[in-house]
């Protein structure tokens, strides 16, 4: 039996979806029950992860791809993972610009996810948000992440199709970056393809891809786009579909799903264990006192953490 709130999510009511995402983002008490109810209804939408360096024009590309899907009559969810302001905790990129073009369309749901304090859980919250949109009947869910950080890479790996966006001649360490993101890209985009150096970037990328040994033997296509002029977007959608088709029959697909599930469980476990440890009576005060001692060099962090765990403030995980 689903609660009325879950029924609203499954009917795709935007306000219920928004509330649900806030719940998982805050790690609120209801998150667990909510996700248990939502989970059986997932797996119908296609999750497209889009990543690349700042300045690659990812946001515009995402908007244009979303518009294309809308023209085809599909409902689209967009989840933007923002590097957040380290002090204020607020999101940076926001949905400000985006809302002007897509925000009035009821068939598009847009949400920014930002770092949520010390407990971590951004990656877990993002994956949960995607699952909610999936259960709510969005046929395409686009997850956009900025940068090449650890969490960002993990998030993109959970997508059904991962798109890596490059631009011509980005700088002298582009080679290094390419080498790193090469392995997570199922589809590559060279955006701003009206700029100088496109051919060179394309040749370099082809060379790098030819060296890669993907376990699934897929050769990632390279799509050239000028997102600001809506050029190449159809081709991008086609490349995404071709990988989706390929995946259906691929042996590697199950392995990939299992790896993603394993990662999700570890993320969730990490978060849960820490939350439980900090929930214990006096735990936060104890940690604060220990942090103060570490700051004054009266104690080293390792001894402090051992003391915290052994004091029982860490909680009896197995017992309740």
Q: Which residues, numbered 286-315, are part of the site for a copy of itself (CB under 8 A)? A: 287-288, 290-292, 294-295, 297, 300-306, 308-310, 312, 314-315
Report if residue 184 touches a copy of itself, rule: CB under 8 A.
Answer: yes
Instruction: Pick the closer one to a copy of itself by CB: 209 or 277.
Output: 277
CA–CA distances in Å: residue 230 to residues 53, 201, 235, 319 = 20, 20, 11, 57
Can you tell me the distance from the alpha carbon of 315 to that of 281, in angstroms, rounded to the nearest whole number?
Answer: 9
Q: Binding to a copy of itself by residue 196, rule CB under 8 A?
A: no
Could you tell me the sign of the dihedral formed by the alpha carbons of 226, 230, 231, 232, in that order? positive
> Considering only 35-43, 63-71, 218-226, 231-239, which stretch makes contact with a copy of itself by CB under 8 A?
35-43
Which residue in the set 151, 205, 220, 225 belongs to the binding site for a copy of itself (CB under 8 A)? Answer: 151
* 158 touching a copy of itself, by CB under 8 A: no
Cβ of residue 247: shortest distance to a copy of itself, in angstroms? 14
Shortest Cβ 35–a copy of itself spacing (Å): 5
- 160-179 residues in contact with a copy of itself (CB under 8 A) are 167, 170-174, 176-177, 179
**What are the backbone dihedrals phi and psi of residue 299, each rounded to the nearest 5 degrees, phi first?**
-155, 150
> Is there a contact between 111 and 78 (Cβ–Cβ < 8 Å)?
yes
Provide, rounded to whole angstroms, the least separation between the CB of residue 308 and a copy of itself. Answer: 7
Our finding on whether 251 is near a copy of itself (CB under 8 A) is: no
Say whether residue 2 binds a copy of itself (CB under 8 A).
no
55 closest CA partner among 195, 203, 205: 195
- Please provide the DSSP assignment of 157-173 as one string: HTSSEEEEEE-TT--TT
Q: Considering only residues 48 through 107, tell me which ones interact with a copy of itself, judged by CB under 8 A.
A: 53-60, 82-88, 92-93
Nearest to 48 by CA among 113, 106, 134: 134
d(CA 250, CA 237): 20
- Indicate which single residue of 139, 157, 204, 231 sits in contact with a copy of itself (rule: CB under 8 A): 157
Give the DSSP H or E segment for 110: strand 108-114
> In the complex with a copy of itself, which residue's Cβ is closer, 107 or 294?
294
**Region of 37-45, 63-71, 101-109, 243-251 interacting with a copy of itself (CB under 8 A):** 37-45
Question: Quick one: which of 73, 150, 196, 249 contacts a copy of itself (CB under 8 A)?
Answer: 150
The CA–CA distances, whole Å, from 71 to 76, 107, 118 equal 11, 10, 41
Q: Which residues pair with 223 in a beta bridge?
A: 189
């Amino acid at each position: 039996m689903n609660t009325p709130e879950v029924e609203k999510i499954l009917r795709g009511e935007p306000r219920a979806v928004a509330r649900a995402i806030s719940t998982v983002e805050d790690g609120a008490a209801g998150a667990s029950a909510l996700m248990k109810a939502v989970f059986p209804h997932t797996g119908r939408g296609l999750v497209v992860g889009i990543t690349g360096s700042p300045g690659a024009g990812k946001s515009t590309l995402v908007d244009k791809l979303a518009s294309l899907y809308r023209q085809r009559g599909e409902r689209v969810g967009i989840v933007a993972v923002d590097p957040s302001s380290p002090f204020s905790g607020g999101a940076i990129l926001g949905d400000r610009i985006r809302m002007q073009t897509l925000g009035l369309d009821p068939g598009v749901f847009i949400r920014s996810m930002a770092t949520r304090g010390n407990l971590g859980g951004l990656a877990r919250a993002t994956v949960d948000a995607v699952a909610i949109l999936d259960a709510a009947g969005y046929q395409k869910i686009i997850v956009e992440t900025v940068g090449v950080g650890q969490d960002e890479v993990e998030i993109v790996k959970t997508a059904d199709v991962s798109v890596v966006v490059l631009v011509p001649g980005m700088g002298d360490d582009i080679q290094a970056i390419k080498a790193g993101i090469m392995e997570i890209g199922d589809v590559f985009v060279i955006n701003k393809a009206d700029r100088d150096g496109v051919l060179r970037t394309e040749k370099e990328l082809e060379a790098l891809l030819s060296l890669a040994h993907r376990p699934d033997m897929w050769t990632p296509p390279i799509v050239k786009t000028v997102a600001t002029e809506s050029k190449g977007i159809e081709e991008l959608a086609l490349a995404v579909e071709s990988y989706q088709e390929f995946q259906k029959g691929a042996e590697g697909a199950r392995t990939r799903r299992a790896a993603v599930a394993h990662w999700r469980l570890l993320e969730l476990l990490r978060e849960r264990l820490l939350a439980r440890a900090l929930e214990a009576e006096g735990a936060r005060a104890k940690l604060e006192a220990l942090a103060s001692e570490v700051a004054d060099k009266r104690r080293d962090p390792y001894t402090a953490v051992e003391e915290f765990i052994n004091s029982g403030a860490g909680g009896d995980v197995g017992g309740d």
